[in-house]
Structure 1
Amino acid sequence: MHTKPEPPEARAALPTGRAALSGLPAARAALRGLPTRLGLLARAGGTGLLALLALPVVLMCACLYVAGFGLPLLTPLLRGVRRLAGAERRRVGVVLGGPPVPEHYRPLDGPLLTRARIALTDPAGRRDLLWLPVHGLSGTLAAVLGLGLTISAVNNLTMPLWWWAVPGRAPSGVGFAVDSWWKAAAMLPIGAAVAVLAVALAAPLLRGQARLTRPLLTPPDGSVVERLAEVTASRAAALDAHGAELRRIERDLHDGTQNRLLAVVLHLGLIERALERDPEQALPLVRRARRAAGDALDELRDVVRGIHPPILAERGLDGAVSALAARCPVPCVVHTAGLTRTPAAVETAAYFVVAEALNNVAKHSRAAHVEVRLTREEDTLVIEVEDDGRGGADEHAGSGLVGIRRRAAALDGRLSVHSPVGGPTRLRAELPCGW
């Protein structure tokens, strides 16, 4: 049986048809990802509007500062700008497919004049002031274009429905008023074309705007002088952490172990008198002395465990953190996949960071769930503790965050806390371990 050969035109058309079919999954993936992209564009528009609103406030505060009246407003205003930039760093990380853009601010601590000096000389803070107008314009324009095309597509595609539901009062189409069925039907192909354009432009708009603002959000490369200042601050933080640790050990020994041992001495004195006068009364005193000695031994073990937990040497950091999570009263999940051994000083600091963070969650957060993640990013150990509690963590309200920051700074590390009122609270500590 002979078959008729296909003409060359038909054979040439086959690859094109296959290419069209192979593009269908990509189109379906683009449609599935459209709600996420629109949400990210809406976030860009929201933070862009906030940046535009913050810009005149910053300029007004600068004028008041020059006039000598804006000093109390400077620190809270720049903290607000830092929070806004932090939200955008997380969004840019999601858009570009990676971790959040790192931040490197100098902590605004100390008296009012000191905080103002730090705020005015911080290079990352100055870059934030440049970022405000750039993101305000680009984020708002990207959101208006992307969301506007989507709204226009929905409006045009639903025009026949509007005309059927409210005849004579349907919304206007593109370029003409809809006052008949054929004009309403004519909006369908226009709406389809606008929808295709909205789907095609959503991802480029997101990536382009994120790439435009990311350099301004990325920490600048520090100069030798700045690096020397950081090392000096790190050394001071290490000395402060060491002094605080010594004072804690001294307090624990004085208030706990010493009192327990004193109780043992008193019981031994009572036993000595009982043996001289009435030996039969000595046995209960011996039991009391034994219990007091056991309590003193437990107290001493707790002090030793607070200096360097033996579980770190026995089970490693992942096992030690899992033990902390098991003792936490709030249900806790630990993620340590792929975690490798790090220097002992880093593991010790990481252990106490997690311990203090979980202690804060149990005491203050009213959370129902908490997650701990430990990962190794090149030469940095990253610790993240996130809970679903009420938020509003204040570093200066006795929440233990000062001690965590001091431990991180002692190793030239960084600590960032994001805790809006209402939650969730996310603590991220970065400890370098490549030295």
Structure 2
Amino acid sequence: MTAVTLPLETTRAPGRLRLTSYAAWQLLLWIPTLVAVVFMVLGGTLAIAWLGIGLLLWVVPMMRWLAGRHRAMAAQTLGVPVPAEYRPVPEGTHLVGRVMVWALDPMTWRELAWALVSVTLGLLLSMIAVLLFVCVVTGALWWFGIEPIMRARARLDCLFLSYGRTERLEQRVADLTQSRAHVVDHSAAELRRLERDLHDGAQARLVALSMSLGMADEAFDTDPERARRLVSEARSTTTAALGDLRSVVRGIHPPVLADRGLTGGVEALALDLPLPVEVEARLEGRPPAPVESALYFGIAECLANVGKHAGAEHAWVRIRHRDGVLRAIVGDDGRGGADPATGSGMLGVMRRLAAFDGTMSVSSPAGGPTIITLEVPCGLSSPKTTPSSEPD
């Protein structure tokens, strides 16, 4: 769900004349709002027979524009942001899919309900505010009544055009439930991967090692030269088995993180890429180990995608911790067009970060640049307590 916060033009409450201008503007928007309601209902009805899709593709953006204007006026009147929280439409979604995303978005239905109230009760409040201003005999009523009338209108708009505290908590619970399910699935898949890696790699080599040593033991008395060859082969197999085990351990928690922290780990990743990568990190401590590992693997996936798909000449990584949020920005000057919904790796990063209430956002227009932002709320430990600062 995407939150768009409309900025306030001023920190001061609008004066009476400004509030009256809002009321006049709302009266002017009454006709387009009524038209949007009629065509939205008509388009939704005809969409059952696929005839209203084109109508909805026109009227839903119109309704959102009208709602946005009223959100801005409500935000100015009440002095608080009024966010428009729409579900994002993935890039490349076809027209019917776009309409389906709109239809499943609760804010679409809230705006339709708002429009119905706006052209009735909302119209009445705005009309009273304007009439009190234009009639000379009601000047005193306008002076004292314009502010409470317009605040009532603004609260009415906010009631429908923004989620309340209870709804936000319910949505938060739903998001956490979904992310927990993804994390459980991801953990099960990781366990299966580790089991497969151990079975196909280290275990197979250790079995071969045992057989080589057994044959060498039998050959020591009768064929010492063959026994020495078998022991030499067993030594090589042991080295390979240790390499397999190190690879498995590195996939769980890279040793470079424990030794050098997130900054050093990302710098090591950058050195492995076949293009220059600029790493800039400003951390006054270390995040918790699980968060550090999650962000490291997320950055690793982003850099791997740069090397494989971006066609870039230069990439960069910026790591910051501010206001309780650990943020990593991975960018490149490649061809752009990255879509996290089409790759299992990026979906895995999202799920990994979601376990820590983190998020990933992608900006990748055609032609570039691609900028991926990873954010995880967390605190940092004191540099004096980090493993890298301990004496040898």
Mark yes or no: TM-score above 0.5: yes
CA shift, 1:270, in A, is: 3.4
Q: Does 1:252 align with 2:232?
A: no
Q: Which residue of 2 aligns with 1:212?
A: none
Distance in 1, matches of 2:84 and 2:245, equals 41
Q: Which residue of 1 aligns with 2:346?
A: 401
Distance in 2, matches of 1:103 and 1:429, equals 22
Task: Indicate if the aligned counterparts of 1:334 and 1:372 stay in contact, CA closer than 8 A.
Answer: yes
CA shift, 1:306, in A, is: 1.2
- Among candidates 223, 232, 238, match of residue 287 of structure 1: 232
Task: Indicate if the aligned counterparts of 1:124 and 1:220 stay in contact, CA closer than 8 A.
Answer: no
CA shift, 1:125, in A, is: 7.3
1:170-199: CA deviation from partner (whole Å, max 9, x where unpaired): xxxxxxxxxxxxxxxxxxxxxxxxxxxxxx
Q: Does 1:63 align with 2:43?
A: yes
| 1:383-394 equivalence runs, <5 A | 383-394=328-339
Q: Which residue of 1 aligns with 2:126?
A: none
Task: Indicate if the aligned counterparts of 2:340 and 2:346 stay in contact, CA closer than 8 A.
Answer: yes
Q: Which residue of 1 aligns with 2:357?
A: 412
| 1:348-367 equivalence runs, <5 A | 348-367=293-312
Task: Indicate if the aligned counterparts of 2:331 and 2:371 stay in contact, CA closer than 8 A.
Answer: yes
- Among candidates 214, 221, 237, match of residue 182 of structure 2: 237
Q: Which residue of 2 aligns with 1:369?
A: 314
Q: Which residue of 2 aligns with 1:326?
A: 271
Residue identity in the other structure for 2:317: V
Task: Indicate if the aligned counterparts of 1:339 and 1:375 stay in contact, CA closer than 8 A.
Answer: no
1:10-34: CA deviation from partner (whole Å, max 9, x where unpaired): xxxxxxxxxxxxxxxxxxxxxxxxx
| 1:212-227 equivalence runs, <5 A | 223-227=168-172
- Among candidates 373, 387, 390, match of residue 428 of structure 1: 373
Q: Which residue of 2 aligns with 1:307?
A: 252
Q: Does 1:268 align with 2:248?
A: no
Task: Indicate if the aligned counterparts of 1:263 and 1:292 stay in contact, CA closer than 8 A.
Answer: yes
Over 3 Å counting, the alpha-carbon distance change for 1:415 and 1:251 in structure 2 is same
Runs of 4+ in 1 over 6 A off after TM superposition: 59-62, 102-105, 112-118, 124-129, 217-221
1:15-66: CA deviation from partner (whole Å, max 9, x where unpaired): xxxxxxxxxxxxxxxxxxxxxxxxxxxxxxxxxxxxxxxxx9xx78992675
> What is the DSSP-based 3-state SS (H/G/I as helix, E as strand, rest coil) of the residue aligned with 1:277?
coil
> What is the DSSP-based 3-state SS (H/G/I as helix, E as strand, rest coil) of the residue aligned with 1:400?
helix
1:210-243: CA deviation from partner (whole Å, max 9, x where unpaired): xxxxxxx999876221121122122222212222
- Among candidates 209, 219, 223, match of residue 278 of structure 1: 223
> What is the DSSP-based 3-state SS (H/G/I as helix, E as strand, rest coil) of the residue aligned with 1:376?
strand
Over 3 Å counting, the alpha-carbon distance change for 1:413 and 1:127 in structure 2 is farther
The gaps in structure 1 that reach 5 residues or longer are 1-55, 86-101, 130-216
CA shift, 1:328, in A, is: 2.2
Task: Indicate if the aligned counterparts of 1:392 and 1:423 stay in contact, CA closer than 8 A.
Answer: yes
Task: Indicate if the aligned counterparts of 2:209 and 2:237 stay in contact, CA closer than 8 A.
Answer: yes
Residue identity in the other structure for 1:246: L
Over 3 Å counting, the alpha-carbon distance change for 1:328 and 1:240 in structure 2 is same
Q: Which residue of 2 aligns with 1:342?
A: 287
Distance in 1, matches of 2:226 and 2:368, equals 60
Residue identity in the other structure for 1:239: V
* RMSD, aligned α-carbons: 4.4
Distance in 1, matches of 2:225 and 2:234, equals 16
Distance in 2, matches of 1:333 and 1:126, equals 46
CA shift, 1:370, in A, is: 1.1
1:68-117: CA deviation from partner (whole Å, max 9, x where unpaired): 2559x89xx89xx9xxx9xxxxxxxxxxxxxxxx99765779xx999987
Over 3 Å counting, the alpha-carbon distance change for 1:356 and 1:421 in structure 2 is same
> What is the DSSP-based 3-state SS (H/G/I as helix, E as strand, rest coil) of the residue aligned with 1:247?
helix
Residue identity in the other structure for 2:371: R
Residue identity in the other structure for 1:67: A
Aligned residues: 271
Over 3 Å counting, the alpha-carbon distance change for 1:306 and 1:418 in structure 2 is same
CA shift, 1:334, in A, is: 0.8
Give aligned-pair identity as a percent: 47
CA shift, 1:297, in A, is: 0.6
- Among candidates 293, 316, 330, match of residue 261 of structure 2: 316
1:116-135: CA deviation from partner (whole Å, max 9, x where unpaired): 87654546778999xxxxxx
| 1:10-159 equivalence runs, <5 A | 63=43, 67-68=47-48, 119-122=102-105
Task: Indicate if the aligned counterparts of 2:361 and 2:372 stay in contact, CA closer than 8 A.
Answer: yes
Distance in 2, matches of 1:250 and 1:381, equals 32
CA shift, 1:396, in A, is: 4.4
Residue identity in the other structure for 1:335: E
Residue identity in the other structure for 1:259: A
> What is the DSSP-based 3-state SS (H/G/I as helix, E as strand, rest coil) of the residue aligned with 1:68?
helix
